[in-house]
Amino acid sequence: MTHHRSLQEILKAVHSGKMTVNDAVHHLKGLPYENLGYAKIDHHRGLRTGFPEVVFCQGKTSEQVTDILKRLSSKNPVVLATRADENVYKDVAKVIPHAAYNKDARMIVIRDPKHALNPQKDAGYILVVSAGTADIPVAEEAALTAESMGSRVERVYDVGVAGIHRLLDQKEMLDNANVVVVVAGMEGALASVVGGLVSKPVVAVPTSIGYGASFQGLAALLSMLNTCAEGVAVVNIDNGFGAGYFAHLINR
Amino acid sequence: MTHHRSLQEILKAVHSGKMTVNDAVHHLKGLPYENLGYAKIDHHRGLRTGFPEVVFCQGKTSEQVTDILKRLSSKNPVVLATRADENVYKDVAKVIPHAAYNKDARMIVIRDPKHALNPQKDAGYILVVSAGTADIPVAEEAALTAESMGSRVERVYDVGVAGIHRLLDQKEMLDNANVVVVVAGMEGALASVVGGLVSKPVVAVPTSIGYGASFQGLAALLSMLNTCAEGVAVVNIDNGFGAGYFAHLINR
Amino acid sequence: MTHHRSLQEILKAVHSGKMTVNDAVHHLKGLPYENLGYAKIDHHRGLRTGFPEVVFCQGKTSEQVTDILKRLSSKNPVVLATRADENVYKDVAKVIPHAAYNKDARMIVIRDPKHALNPQKDAGYILVVSAGTADIPVAEEAALTAESMGSRVERVYDVGVAGIHRLLDQKEMLDNANVVVVVAGMEGALASVVGGLVSKPVVAVPTSIGYGASFQGLAALLSMLNTCAEGVAVVNIDNGFGAGYFAHLINR
Amino acid sequence: MTHHRSLQEILKAVHSGKMTVNDAVHHLKGLPYENLGYAKIDHHRGLRTGFPEVVFCQGKTSEQVTDILKRLSSKNPVVLATRADENVYKDVAKVIPHAAYNKDARMIVIRDPKHALNPQKDAGYILVVSAGTADIPVAEEAALTAESMGSRVERVYDVGVAGIHRLLDQKEMLDNANVVVVVAGMEGALASVVGGLVSKPVVAVPTSIGYGASFQGLAALLSMLNTCAEGVAVVNIDNGFGAGYFAHLINR
Amino acid sequence: MTHHRSLQEILKAVHSGKMTVNDAVHHLKGLPYENLGYAKIDHHRGLRTGFPEVVFCQGKTSEQVTDILKRLSSKNPVVLATRADENVYKDVAKVIPHAAYNKDARMIVIRDPKHALNPQKDAGYILVVSAGTADIPVAEEAALTAESMGSRVERVYDVGVAGIHRLLDQKEMLDNANVVVVVAGMEGALASVVGGLVSKPVVAVPTSIGYGASFQGLAALLSMLNTCAEGVAVVNIDNGFGAGYFAHLINR
Amino acid sequence: MTHHRSLQEILKAVHSGKMTVNDAVHHLKGLPYENLGYAKIDHHRGLRTGFPEVVFCQGKTSEQVTDILKRLSSKNPVVLATRADENVYKDVAKVIPHAAYNKDARMIVIRDPKHALNPQKDAGYILVVSAGTADIPVAEEAALTAESMGSRVERVYDVGVAGIHRLLDQKEMLDNANVVVVVAGMEGALASVVGGLVSKPVVAVPTSIGYGASFQGLAALLSMLNTCAEGVAVVNIDNGFGAGYFAHLINR
Amino acid sequence: MTHHRSLQEILKAVHSGKMTVNDAVHHLKGLPYENLGYAKIDHHRGLRTGFPEVVFCQGKTSEQVTDILKRLSSKNPVVLATRADENVYKDVAKVIPHAAYNKDARMIVIRDPKHALNPQKDAGYILVVSAGTADIPVAEEAALTAESMGSRVERVYDVGVAGIHRLLDQKEMLDNANVVVVVAGMEGALASVVGGLVSKPVVAVPTSIGYGASFQGLAALLSMLNTCAEGVAVVNIDNGFGAGYFAHLINR
Amino acid sequence: MTHHRSLQEILKAVHSGKMTVNDAVHHLKGLPYENLGYAKIDHHRGLRTGFPEVVFCQGKTSEQVTDILKRLSSKNPVVLATRADENVYKDVAKVIPHAAYNKDARMIVIRDPKHALNPQKDAGYILVVSAGTADIPVAEEAALTAESMGSRVERVYDVGVAGIHRLLDQKEMLDNANVVVVVAGMEGALASVVGGLVSKPVVAVPTSIGYGASFQGLAALLSMLNTCAEGVAVVNIDNGFGAGYFAHLINR
């Protein structure tokens, strides 16, 4: 994998004649992605950012998703696809039989059987907290993403602030987490309350759950951005994947 | 005060000849307001809605405010003016010496000395709760309004959700109130948390305190409108007066 | 029901040896909610806020709604579910035969037959006023909610301000109400007009009825928040339930 | 004033030799505006639209305003300048001594003394109605504009819907108007109520009076656009001039 | 039709004993609307505003529309229903055979055969101008409304500003109209251009035609409200009915 | 084609008697468009702006599109229709057999076989760059538009900034383009990065690809308008056609 | 510090008689905050969240800030105040002579001289990256916050994407950071580009730098929330403090 | 200037021993910008994009602007600074005596006297068109930018669509331009009308001129983005500089 050589190594190889000028040009310019025409699969991303490209299925045909996943899974131990509906999964499963589907999270996970992931039970964990039952799909997307990347994840669901004792009961669970993901729609107040209770980073995910003046999640988004608690950062509305990914980077 | 007679009484008086047609026309048409040209002072409002017209000073000249207050206070035991800056008060005080000014709430209160207001110590009370120090002017506007109308008011300030124990400490105070006014800027989460704790009506007042994506109080407003707690209603941004007035109507 | 004991009572019991430390920990920590995994049913809410948790059906599966209602109705004389479509009701009715459905309001009401609710005819009432025919579903949600909680409710529908005599005709009905719920879409002006006519609290519900620059109820919402009338507070767009609940808290 | 000749007249004159080709080109192309470099004064507008160009002073220097007014007033019996602060007027008055200034409306009116305007007392009139005292400047801008153009104008101020009897009292005044201009800030409900009372066109002017969720007049604007009353059209926020102009076109 | 008597006449009748007190109460209070429970049909509106209530079908059931139309058409020579889809019309036509349907405008017109409407060919006319082919449904709603009310209407369609010669060609048509209705989506510039060309009132109707940053007609709406041309007023997005109604009030 | 004669030529002809007054009026007034009633086909546009009218199919019936295309294609070598779904194309193809359809771009292209378009391989080219796979339909609309007008177009797809090496690899392609069209949804950052790399005009097209706080393309639109790079201009969300057209005007 | 005892310890002490019931009530209820009336200083926060309360000066009087800082600094080794203008600092410095002021960041830092903070040179660091010179105040607020909390911070300023080589040059600095804070106004694209380059968490801070359609930072905020890069979370507009705090929690 | 060598040349030089590895690393990595700490001056930009970095003065101190300009002008024949107020200019002029200031455009232009710019009179020109007098500052910013870069610029001001003959009069000027910059506030309709008249690219600049529902230029911006004319692209509100720069890239 020459693309790991440093600039200096390549130049030294050129200088010593071990590498031709043309090869050097190729190495310096040719970063390892695969060109499917409609998509440029970024095999290099795993090396660069620690995890392979994740396929966002919305707006892609079933064929495109299948094709991209086939190529990604041939070179990576774990591959994820988000916002995948069940039909897409069925098409993928025909070609990649060990692909698994999580209906709640609408995610496809393809894990190389040789790379089983067994996070130790006493590993530091990410806590995913959701305000209501309807927020669970987004919460599961976050949880599954982080788990697929190798983090231990714990879940506490339906602890919205309207019955704050349900949340306070989980104080120990909150205190021991390395990072907390808070998933909430409507007014999104849960992020502020959790942020005030813990000393760890809180990743807030507004959801589009609500109606009327929630404006498809805008109310929760603004609420979380304006939190009076410290130690809270926010991702896009319904972006469970982004929160899980970000939380894993911290937990790692 | 003929304007209290019912339609039937007036018609009977006409029928019996006790009232001329012209007088009846006058009674039926002429509702008792006073026309200053630039303003029509609604002396009837006290009878109709239980409290005289309140003067919103913003956008009125000092002369206009003084003139209107003079006329209102001649016919009502208590008169209020909101959003009054100190200069307006000084002009008013020259003409109405017993006018009092509350700088925090930016309000002028004119109380007929013969109508001292002494709510009993054990009367049911309105609790005004504020999230932060900067929300106090709006909270005071609410408290002073309700007090001027005759309600007993208690205050609990600076109990934002980022340190929720400060709020939980006030559980007894919250439980015993007849109605709670919650004043909060930034993400306005306090309204939801209080709403989940009490069984009494909560009147939420978003404030413009905050910056960036608070958009001058929009974030708190949307948050409060989308509260997951039941029993919460909302007034305009920074509308302490409206909340105090509304709370008094409930507490009365 | 030990969860009603005060902190002091529990501590005294511990002190006197009547309660073990472990039991006390349990009492102090273990608030009575039931954990279904995807939902934490808050049986305590009835005690805390005066009415059991209300099930918001939108975003929940038919199974989840049925399961939650079964558990709630086993411990509460009256249970409500809002935003329930007819199919959900049919599934619920299979398991809870005495569940009733109101199609206009899209609500399921489950009332323990032993707790018949007969508000006296001369009880103080909530008046629900709607501007147009299309606002009736939201108005009915408000009315039915308050009735289910035990309030007497009167209705005046289709009295929008474009024909103000229809409203003025109801002056007596308005004057005698304890609290008025005003339901209006389009420009929502009815809330201001009613607010100017009565001396009781007005709970305004903007609806999403309208088109174009109504922006799904935003116009009515902003209109109601900016009302020039005093004594008006606002709930979320189309939130008939919230208005009925709030009105009942006042009327109670 | 050859620019009034029809195309056919000009072509006939060319055909008959009474007009040279060059003159015809000039006539057909050269519309009569005066080029000051920074502004092209449209002397033709009076003929085209019935009233000369009106100078919007905001964003123009005092010199520019004076210069434009001097030229316009030399060719037109009545010239208006809107959004003029008092300093601009003082500069204008040095050069055009008979220029008059209306402080409320922030307008300069220059009327050729030979063209005194005396609308007959019994002429059809425009009624300008304002909701509050603070809306008067915009209302006066509307009234003065229409008067300057030759319409008879009547005024009814401070009749907001919170005290609807003040408005109903003016029923006769409303019924007899040819067109009604309604000026209101806050929630702007007055336009709907007036629209429901009269059978004449209602021109609604939202004002920026209000605070918080009025968003500088947006609430009133949306309210007026979504009015449930028929026969209402709307102009820009604070656009008294536009409403007065439009009303005059109808009244004419 | 006693409801036409003036207050004074009624009072005189009471005084002279020609009318009993009870009858007078009835006359003064009982304005003539018909209460269907879900709707209060305003038979009085025809007298008050010059045209009977128009039925806005959106959000009403087919049964409700039919019922209301039956009652309205029994007392009025012309009745309109807007936003009616074809199925609603079919239901109406079963009961009111002479009901007519205009598919473009989505309107039902019910005209009493005895009141044929024949506006004279040389009557002053309303000109309805549309920018594009896709704006025609809204334009037709405007045109048909005004025609149903008795105005002569002329149409000029597809004259958007991108090919301004198509508009300039219609200069004579524009000049001779009493009032011009301009219907345009996208950027709505046509209203400004027409406003600059004519000396008559221009009623601008933004449409939701467009995509992306048109935000369902918001771009056209804002454009029309900010027009640099004088003599333009605006109605709600897609509100062809409102524009036609307003134009007829002017043209009448 | 008399409509190409200058004003002076026509006037000279009138003067010399070679043209009658009536003919001249016709020439001067009658610009060459064809009136279908619902549409005014602008045959003159090709002469005026360099390319015939392009048919925007959205909101037009299949019959209207077919009819307009038939007439346009009879007088122009190349005719385009955008936002055409496949069914519309099938109807068009029955009547215009050589009409071609591009499914990605949802465009119909009708090219007169006698006017084959063969841009030379070494002609200056427009480079169309897209950020993601889901942006390709909009990118293809841009590319196909410019190609249909005669420009050479090159494509570089799926080079979003999250893997910037994929873009940097295309530096040479970027450097040699005459103009670059950048198509990107989500945060639209690609426009700024490309703008910083090249010295040629960049036409940015925000797309509606994204979710949550992308608000249907608003995020990308605002991002592109606020670009810190110089030499970037923006078209409407999803307006591939507009970008391709604009790029061709530059490249020409 | 009894407030660290567990619930069980306290109960055991009560049981054994070592603690009276009253003391236990006090311990369980009385969390250690200090009540100034207008503010409740949360001395407990340091223990709960790892850092004492930070004073947000905006909206507080100079006296209030000084008072709060005096009390906080008496119990904490490091105390911060944000959004402090220079006059506030001068007042504070009179009372707390070792208070330091950073003009760029508008922050007051009060550090107990006995607790000097010397992060080791080879400690893991937070990298603060800013797009433009005008973003530096926000970037400095982030950097100073994290430094005050004990993190090592490195800075790379003025590396906006319009000249991407300036950023790519810092690749090594980026690769070696534990967490990257990206501060950018205008279109905020820098967050996406950095997010694509690094494998560490990126905390994005939109700033209000820009004009026109930046809408005071909204464009950058939306851009960052919609980033196509993974591993990016966002804080409020101009919230340098929040980003620095959050980054320190990760880096710790 | 080694930074112009291609990658291949450098590698060949390394291969042949003409360049050391260290020198090559330097060349490949070290792009020529100058690091002032608070700013990284991009001397390379002139080579990369054809024009040196332009200094946006807003948010920079007078010292920073002066310092950056001094360095830029030492290496470039023409340097621009935008949004410079007069005081900044005065500071700059002390150090760079030949710096010139244009008050209308608020720009500083520094031109090396040896590089006088004399565009030929018959060169292709950019036409800058403005709608109103108040738009001139933005128009001048566009014009001056393009002139400074070497383009010939013509100006046509105050030709808003309300008097369309003023624009049509300039048809020849429009037809002969290579590119047209349209500057307009309020409803921004001028861009569409010009776009329909010419066959050249139109760069539209919305301005913040207007009030009320113009929302600081949003109305004009949306209007221009939704133009029904082809061949129009848009820059940020008030971004005269961006439009002039973009136009020059086309005209070049």
**Are E213 and E139 in the same domain?**
yes
Q: Does residue C104 carry a pLDDT above 60? A: yes
Contacts of B249 (CB under 8 A, 6+ apart): B50, C199, C200, C201, C231
The phi and psi torsions of C31 (rounded to 5 degrees) equal -75, 150
The answer to whether E103 contacts chain F (CB < 8 Å) is no
pLDDT at residue number H87: 95
Strands (E), chain C: 33-35, 40-42, 55-56, 78-82, 99-102, 107-111, 125-130, 152-156, 179-184, 202-206, 232-234
Give the model confidence (pLDDT) of A70-104 as tens digits.
Answer: 988 888 888 999 999 999 999 999 999 999 999 99
pLDDT at residue number B34: 67
B203 touches B179 (CB < 8 A):
yes
Angstrom distance (rounded) from CA G41 to CA G55: 10
Asked if D11's CB is within 8 angstroms of F25's CB, the reply is yes
Q: Is the dihedral of CA E226, E231, E235, E241 positive or negative?
A: negative
For chain F, the average pLDDT equals 86
The answer to whether E124 contacts chain D (CB < 8 Å) is no
Chain D residue nearest residue F19, CA to CA? D15
Give a yes or no: residue B12 inside a domain: no
Give a yes or no: residue G236 inside a domain: yes
For chain G, the average pLDDT equals 86
Interface list for F 23-42 with D (CB within 8 A):
24-25, 28-29
Residue A94's identity, in one-letter code, is: K
Burial class (CB in 10 A: 0-12, 13-18, 19+), G4: exposed
Asked if H250's CB is within 8 angstroms of F231's CB, the reply is no
Angstrom distance (rounded) from CA D69 to CA D63: 10
**Are D80 and D138 in the same domain?**
no
H34 touches H43 (CB < 8 A):
yes
**Are A106 and A164 in the same domain?**
no
pLDDT at residue number D36: 67
Domain that holds residue A238: 125-251
Angstrom distance (rounded) from CA G82 to CA G78: 13
Chain E residue nearest residue B6, CA to CA? E25
Give the mutation candidate from H168, H169, H183, H187 for the E interface (greatest E CB count, under 10 A): H187
**Are A146 and A212 in the same domain?**
yes
Angstrom distance (rounded) from CA C162 to CA D227: 8
pLDDT at residue number E77: 85
CATH of the domain at G223: 3.40.50.1970
Of H4, A70, C212, C128, nearest to E239 by C-alpha is C212
Contacts of F16 (CB under 8 A, 6+ apart): none
pLDDT at residue number F29: 46
In which band, very low, low, confident or very high, does the pLDDT at F4 lie, cut at 50, 70 and 90? very low
Least confident of A32-41, A138-147, E61-70, F53-62: A32-41
pLDDT at residue number C3: 34
Contacts of H57 (CB under 8 A, 6+ apart): H65, H81, H82, H83, H84, H85, H88, H108
Angstrom distance (rounded) from CA D72 to CA D95: 13
Of C122, C66, C61, C64, nearest to C89 by C-alpha is C66
B249 touches C201 (CB < 8 A):
yes
Give a yes or no: residue B45 inside a domain: yes
pLDDT at residue number C28: 54
pLDDT at residue number A240: 97
The answer to whether A220 contacts chain B (CB < 8 Å) is yes
Give a yes or no: residue D215 inside a domain: yes
pLDDT at residue number H16: 82
Average pLDDT over residues C129-147: 95
Asked if C136's CB is within 8 angstroms of E58's CB, the reply is no
Average pLDDT over residues B176-184: 97
Which of F54, F233, F237 lies closest to H233 in CB terms?
F233
Residue E148's Cβ-side half-sphere holds a number of Cα atoms within 13 Å equal to 31
| Structure-token pair, residue D56 | 């919007």
| Contact yes or no, G with E (3+ CB pairs under 8 Å) | no
Residue A154 CA: distances (Å) to CA of A145, A148, A238, F58, G178: 13, 13, 19, 49, 24
Residue with token string 């700490």: H37
**Are A156 and A227 in the same domain?**
yes
Domain count of the fold of chain F = 2
Give a yes or no: residue F12 inside a domain: no
pLDDT at residue number F16: 82
Give a yes or no: residue G61 inside a domain: yes
pLDDT at residue number D32: 47
**Are C244 and C136 in the same domain?**
yes
Give a yes or no: residue F16 inside a domain: no
Which of H58, H76, H111 is the C-terminal boundary of a domain?
H111
Give the model confidence (pLDDT) of D120-145 as tens digits.
Answer: 777 899 999 999 989 999 999 999 99
Q: Does residue A4 carry a pLDDT above 70? A: no
Which of C111, C133, C154 is the C-terminal boundary of a domain?
C111
Q: Is the dihedral of CA E80, E85, E88, E93 positive or negative?
A: positive
Better-predicted residue by pLDDT, C176 or A4: C176
pLDDT at residue number B3: 34
In which band, very low, low, confident or very high, does the pLDDT at E100 lie, cut at 50, 70 and 90? very high
* Angle in degrees, CA D167, D169, D171, rounded to 5: 80
Residues in a beta bridge with G156: G129
**Are G91 and G193 in the same domain?**
no
For chain C, the average pLDDT equals 86
**Are B142 and B233 in the same domain?**
yes
Give a yes or no: residue E99 inside a domain: yes
Contact residues, chain A, for B188 at CB < 8 Å: 187, 189, 223
Tell me which H or E stretch contains H193.
helix H190-197
Better-predicted residue by pLDDT, D29 or F234: F234
Percent of chain F with pLDDT over 90: 60
Residue D101's Cβ-side half-sphere holds a number of Cα atoms within 13 Å equal to 16
Q: Does residue B134 carry a pLDDT above 60? A: yes
Of E210, F145, F235, nearest to H232 by C-alpha is F235
Tell me which H or E stretch contains D56.
strand D55-56
Average pLDDT over residues B169-182: 93
pLDDT at residue number H53: 79
Chain E residue nearest residue C132, CA to CA? E39
The phi and psi torsions of H204 (rounded to 5 degrees) equal -100, 135
Angstrom distance (rounded) from CA A24 to CA H8: 9
**Are B75 and B147 in the same domain?**
no
Of H13, H7, H6, H20, nearest to A12 by C-alpha is H20
- ipTM (interface pTM): 0.84
pLDDT at residue number G186: 95
| Structure-token pair, residue E249 | 């009030």
Least confident of A127-136, D47-56, E3-12, H164-173: E3-12
Q: Does residue B2 carry a pLDDT above 50? A: no
DSSP code for D205: E
Average pLDDT over residues G210-224: 96
The answer to whether F218 contacts chain H (CB < 8 Å) is no
DSSP code for C149: H
In which band, very low, low, confident or very high, does the pLDDT at D201 lie, cut at 50, 70 and 90? very high
Least confident of A40-54, B110-124, C18-32: C18-32
Angstrom distance (rounded) from CA B58 to CA F12: 68
Give the model confidence (pLDDT) of D164-182 as tens digits.
Answer: 888 988 888 999 999 999 9
Give the model confidence (pLDDT) of E191-230 as tens digits.
Answer: 999 999 998 999 999 999 999 999 999 999 999 999 999 9
Residues of chain H with pLDDT under 50: 1-6, 29-31
DSSP string of chain A, one letter each residue: -GGGS-HHHHHHHHHTTSS-HHHHHHHHH--SEEE-SS-EEETTHHHHHSSPPPEE-TTS-HHHHHHHHHHHHHH-SEEEEES--HHHHHHHHHH-TTEEEETTTTEEEEE-GGG-----TTS-EEEEEESSGGGHHHHHHHHHHHHHHT-EEEEE-S--GGGHHHHHTTHHHHHH-SEEEEEE-TT-THHHHHHHH-SS-EEEEE-----GGGGGGHHHHHHHHT-SSSSEEE--TT-HHHHHHHHHHHH-
For chain D, the average pLDDT equals 86
Which of G111, G138, G167 is the C-terminal boundary of a domain?
G111
**Are G182 and G207 in the same domain?**
yes
Of the ranges A126-140, D45-59, F40-54, which is most confident?
Answer: A126-140
Burial class (CB in 10 A: 0-12, 13-18, 19+), G9: middle
3-state SS assignment for residue F155: strand
pLDDT at residue number G31: 40
Angstrom distance (rounded) from CA A135 to CA A157: 9
B229 touches B191 (CB < 8 A):
yes
Which of B163, B213, B214 lies closest to G42 in CB terms?
B163
Give the mutation candidate from H15, H19, H22, H25 for the A interface (greatest A CB count, under 10 A): H15
Better-predicted residue by pLDDT, D8 or D214: D214
Give the model confidence (pLDDT) of F124-166 as tens digits.
Answer: 999 999 999 899 999 999 999 999 999 999 999 999 898 888 8
| Contact yes or no, A with B (3+ CB pairs under 8 Å) | yes
For chain B, the average pLDDT equals 86
Interface list for B 44-73 with D (CB within 8 A):
44-45, 48, 53, 58-60, 64
In which band, very low, low, confident or very high, does the pLDDT at G29 lie, cut at 50, 70 and 90? very low
pLDDT at residue number G59: 85
**Are G105 and G134 in the same domain?**
no
Q: Does residue E30 carry a pLDDT above 70? A: no
The 3 state secondary structure assigned to chain G is: CHHHCCHHHHHHHHHCCCCCHHHHHHHHHCCCEEECCCCEEECCHHHHHCCCCCEECCCCCHHHHHHHHHHHHCCCCEEEEECCCHHHHHHHHHHCCCEEEECCCCEEEEECHHHCCCCCCCCCEEEEEECCHHHHHHHHHHHHHHHHHCCEEEEECCCCHHHHHHHHCCHHHHHHCCEEEEEECCCCCHHHHHHHHCCCCEEEEECCCCCHHHHHHHHHHHHHHCCCCCCEEECCCCCHHHHHHHHHHHHC
F196 Rama sector, left if φ>0, alpha if ψ -120 to 50, beta otherwise: alpha
**Are F136 and F99 in the same domain?**
no
Residue H132's identity, in one-letter code, is: G
| Sheet containing strand F107-111, strands side by side | F55-56, F78-82, F107-111, F99-102
Q: Does residue B132 carry a pLDDT above 50? A: yes
Give the mutation candidate from D21, D23, D25, D27 for the F interface (greatest F CB count, under 10 A): D21
Which of G7, G15, G25 lies closest to C8 in CB terms?
G25
